[in-house]
Chain A
């Protein structure tokens, strides 16, 4: 069964606007971590933000915030004030218990000028 689901293969956003990238996950383990990575066309994976399952508040890192809705098992990434350099693939990932990290299929974000 798919552990991480990203339902948006591609997204477009106008420069300076906010965009939400969806991620849902499946786990029965009460302890898990959720991650978002950015992959530009150059290929490297850049860590953006982390949310622990026991964290009470949504994680934020600069223009990135994670909308964590535990009951719905969703961990959407919100990028505020989009910039042209935000155009990239974005991967949601989860690590539960002693398991390996699982990645979603990714969402390609294109920021329009």
Chain B
């Protein structure tokens, strides 16, 4: 069973605020990912990491940044939140078979 956690689950915040979405996994997976998903729509990869000190941008342009200082931790930061950032953010990590296991997601609403 996958053990991957995201906090907060829900966040309502005002425009211009800085926010950090937390993601951690206890499976020792090297690869981790962040996706953005609007309700009922497909997932868009915004960031990924192949291991400590490795971060790459995904297909969807995003104003967010990520860091990977520890294997188990992959936080995503928005320096200045805007209403266009309102979405669900899903974190995942993958095993050697490349199966991705997802966290419960963070639903972000920027007013």
Footprint of B on A, CB under 8 Å? 33, 35, 37, 42-47, 50, 89, 91, 93, 95, 100-101, 103-106, 108
Q: What are the 3 tightest A-B residue pairs by CB atom distance, in nearest-first order?
A: A45-B102, A43-B105, A44-B104
Q: If the complex has contacts A45-B90, A100-B59, are A106 and B40 also in contact, measured as CB distance less than 8 A? A: yes
Q: Is the interface of A mostly helix, strand, loop or mixed?
A: strand
How many A-B contacts if CB must be within 8 Å? 54
Q: Could you say which of B2, B43, B101 contacts A103, with CB atoms under 8 Å apart?
A: B43
Find out whether the CB atom of A100 lies under 8 angstroms from the CB atom of B48: yes
Q: Could you say which of A46, A89, A95, A106 contacts B98, with CB atoms under 8 Å apart?
A: A95
Find out whether the CB atom of B102 lies under 8 angstroms from the CB atom of A50: no
Asked if B45 is an interface residue, CB under 8 A from chain A, the answer is yes
Find out whether the CB atom of B92 lies under 8 angstroms from the CB atom of A91: no
Asked if B51 is an interface residue, CB under 8 A from chain A, the answer is no
Q: B33: shortest Cβ distance to chain A, in Å? A: 8
> B99 contacts which chain A residues (CB < 8 A)?
33, 35, 47, 50
Find out whether the CB atom of B107 lies under 8 angstroms from the CB atom of A43: yes
Task: Give the most central of B43, B59, B88, B101: most A CB within 10 Å.
Answer: B43
Q: If the complex has contacts A50-B99, A100-B59, are A45 and B92 also in contact, measured as CB distance less than 8 A? A: yes
A42 nearest in chain B by CB position: B104
